[in-house]
Amino acid sequence: MSQRTAALGKLKQPEAEDLARRAIQSVRDAEEGKDGITYLMDALAVGIETPLTQSYRDQVLEQTDTMSLQDALAKVKREPVATKEGSRT
């Protein structure tokens, strides 16, 4: 287990870029509505914010080349998206 990853896949020191990459990947891997982008949209909708929320949101938008989280989610569902590390989701 890496120093940045705790038990059960939780990140000890999360970074927005990594969170966004994982959220994008989760659209393909998770049950409908249980992905990281939907989770972020739901959190924002009820006013939940952390120190990383805005940079996390910005990274999702940047990595998917979209203007809204809704567009990002739809785009990732439609087509593979290359993340900054070059992997395709």
| C-alpha–C-alpha distance, residues 35 and 30, integer Å | 5
pLDDT at 46 (0 to 100): 98
pLDDT at 35 (0 to 100): 97
Tell me if 26 sits within 8 A of 64, measured CB to CB.
no
User: pTM (2 decimals)?
Assistant: 0.78
Query: Residue 42 is encoded by which pair of tokens?
Result: 């739901």
Mark out the alpha helices in the chain (DSSP H runs): 16-29, 36-45, 53-64, 69-78
| C-alpha–C-alpha distance, residues 16 and 55, integer Å | 6
pLDDT tens for the 89 residues of the chain, in order: 444 444 456 767 889 999 999 999 999 999 999 999 999 999 999 999 999 999 999 999 999 999 999 999 999 999 866 655 555 54
